[in-house]
Structure 1
Amino acid sequence: MATALKPLTEMASEERGARKLLASCYRVFDMLGWSEMIYNHITLKVPGEEDAFLINPFGLHFSEVCASNLVKINSAGEKLDGSPYAVNKAGFTQHSIFHDRLPEMHCIIHTHTTATMAVCSVEGGLQPTNFYACNFIGNIAYHDFEGVTVRGEEGERLVQALGKRRILMLKNHGPVVLGRTLPEAFITYWALQRACEIQLATMSMGQPIIVPQHVIDVHQRDLGQVQLPGGPGAPDFAAMVRRVDRIDSSWRD
């Protein structure tokens, strides 16, 4: 375990790259209005290291996160980099179980946007009433609310509820989105956010049009035909980082 935090320039290139990628994601989320005071979390595994992932410092706003102040911890909640910052127990407890049990899922996102929390708090959850919602029908898991996620014993129930899916809607709480890469997790969250926003708008207007299952099946089958090279979400996320850089590039520090 490290006793002092190394300067960014002295870290291994893999960790330095992961820190910059994750820091840029926090700034993108803030730019899109998806931050929640000093709370919520996006975590990313450190490439080439066993049981090590990066998380935001507890006490800093998403707009203050940068590559050097992210905290490297393991699944036991131990800091591995000598960071002076605390880690929110609610974030560690939830994310650590997924990183430990699903090592192929390198990025995990949990935030409290109004739209996603609202859909998590209504009977039936996400409904097939719009283009983006049809991306996810049949691919979302749900977990009953048990209070703030600070008890390790809830972790096993979270994993069981998730199953083979990669989106877990915590009822009365908010979504957890997992991805093999950060851009993949980002574009999944973006589309889920849009689906929830449009559902809220639609439900406020009257009786929604429900898309039939056979159309949902065709939609999900054909989604891969509209992706650009680079992997799921890579061009989309790069575009958002360019926008952030035009506003403030201090996330790179």
Structure 2
Amino acid sequence: MNMATDAPQTAEKRAARRDLAAAYRLIAHFGLDDSIYTHISARAEANKEHFLINPYGYRFEEVTAANLVTIDLDGHVIDDPDSAGYNKAGFTIHSAIHEARPDVHCVLHTHSVAGVAISCLEEGLLPLNQWAMEFHGRTAYHDYEGIALDLAERERLVADLGDKSVMVLRNHGMLVCGRTVGEAFKRMHNLERSCQAQLAVMASGMKVRRPDDALAEHTAQQYEKWDADHDIGDRDPEWEAYLRLLARIQPDFEG
């Protein structure tokens, strides 16, 4: 293969690793990480059967484009620059979705305090505000089965997720999927703020003004139209803004 063909593939691979490292750093920056636990994964551009994930034992603020681990859908390590390995619970969740959903490029899972709190509520996430209405009728739920070490759970997890891109892992946390890393991060950012806002409203003790389902559905469709009008092949100004933030405050994430 000639150099002219190799160049864009190399650039694509670098961008994929950069974006995933950026998502790890941003999750930490906004306080949504949980020590060395939870995960963000993205398909490796060179091979759709491989995906990238964080090296085990590293805090999210330590993840870089260079130290990401590449594994396949069977859990075999393809590339592990620091010989750190990977978290088995992360493999269970992320491999299940990458295998079942070829439309998903990135899977992002958190254990934030607000997200875990909402996951413990019987009603789950409510469409109380504009952020939350993005997810109205578009949120899946998966019952807690213990720490995700049982590979048999993968079948139930993907069945519960279906074709949705947002899932509440009951008594556990939140999970989102995206066609790009940037889309997944932005989706989680909105989901997290929805959870925080719902808890703040509940804590106020005041009478809640809840929009009706028709308005919530209308707003969700507006979000979908925005996504459709700004396809993944187009520029993503919001994600680019986040990358500029990191370039200013944590420039080593690309290393």
What is aligned with 1:138? 137
SS at match of 1:184: helix
Q: How many Å apart are 1:15 and its aligned residue?
A: 2.4
Q: Distance in 2 between matches of 1:234 and 1:108?
A: 18
Aligned to 1:60: 58
Aligned partner of 1:80 in structure 2 is 78
Pair 1:18 & 2:20 matched: no
Does structure 2 conserve the Cα–Cα contact (< 8 Å) formed by 1:41 and 1:56? yes
Match of 2:223 in 1: 223
Please name the residue that 1:249 is paired with: 251
Say if 1:224 and 1:177 are closer, same or farther in 2 by CA, change over 3 A.
closer
Residues 218, 229 of structure 1: alpha-carbon distance in 2 compared, 3 angstrom cutoff: closer
Give 3-state SS (helix, strand or coil) of 2:33's partner. coil
Amino acid at match of 1:23: A
1:250 is aligned with what amino acid?
D
TM-score by length of 2: 0.90
The 2-side partners of 1:14 and 1:236 are apart by: 20
2:68·2:80 contact (CA, 8 Å) conserved in 1? no
In structure 1, C-alpha distance between the alignment counterparts of 2:80 and 2:34, rounded to whole Å: 26
The residue number in structure 2 matching 1:42 is 40
Q: Give the structure-1-normalised TM-score.
A: 0.90
Distance 1:97 1:221 in 2: 28
2:174 aligns to what SS in structure 1?
strand
Deviates further, 52-61 or 221-230: 221-230
Q: SS of the counterpart of 1:221?
A: helix
Q: Partner of 1:152: helix, strand, or coil?
A: coil
Task: Supply the AA of the counterpart residue of 1:237.
Answer: W
| Distance in 2 (alpha carbons) for counterparts of 1:216 and 1:229 | 21
Question: 3-state SS of the aligned residue for 2:47?
Answer: coil
Aligned length: 244
* Contact 2:67 2:80 survives alignment (8 Å): no
Q: CA deviation at 1:25?
A: 1.3
Tell me the amino acid that sits aligned with residue 126 of structure 1: L
SS at match of 2:49: coil
Which one of the candidate residues 5, 9, 27 is aligned to 1:29?
27
Regions of 4+ moved over 4 Å: 224-233
Kindly state the Cα deviation for residue 220 of structure 1 after the two structures are TM-superposed. 2.0
- Aligned partners of 1:115 and 1:133: how far apart in 2? 13
Deviation track 1:101-132 (CA, whole Å, cap 9, x = no partner) reads 11110000001111111111111100121111
Contact 1:187 1:233 in 2 (8 A): no
Gaps of 5+ in 2: 1-8
User: 2:153 corresponds to which residue?
Assistant: 154
1:179–1:229 CA distance, 2 compared to 1 (3 A): closer
Supply the distance in 2 between the matched residues of 1:233 and 1:34 (Cα, whole angstroms): 26
Equivalent residue, structure 1, for 2:4: none
Are 2:144 and 2:170, in contact at CA under 8 Å, matched by a contact in 1?
Answer: yes
Q: Which amino acid aligns with 2:240?
A: A
Contact 1:56 1:65 in 2 (8 A): yes
> 1:164 aligns to what?
163
Report if the CA contact (8 A) 1:126-1:196 is conserved.
yes
Residues 27-79 of structure 1: CA distance to partner in whole angstroms, max 9, x if unpaired? 11111111111111000001131411100001001110001100000111111
1:170-185 correspondence runs (5 A)? 170-185=169-184
2:100 is matched with: 101
> Counterpart of 2:49?
51
Q: Could you tell me how far 1:158 is from its partner in structure 2? A: 0.3
Code of the residue aligned with 2:250 in structure 1: it is D
Please say if residues 55 and 71 of structure 1, whose CA atoms lie closer than 8 Å, have aligned partners that are also in contact.
yes
Q: 1:68 to 1:174 in 2, by over 3 A?
A: same
Q: Is the 8 A contact 2:137 2:217 kept in 1?
A: no
Distance 2:80 2:143 in 1: 36
- Decide whether the 8 Å contact of 1:20 with 1:252 is kept in 2: yes
- The 1:229/1:140 distance shift into structure 2, 3 A limit, reads closer
Structure 1: gaps spanning 5 or more residues: 1-10
Q: Which moved more, 1:215-224 or 1:66-75?
A: 215-224
Q: Secondary structure at the match of 1:129?
A: coil
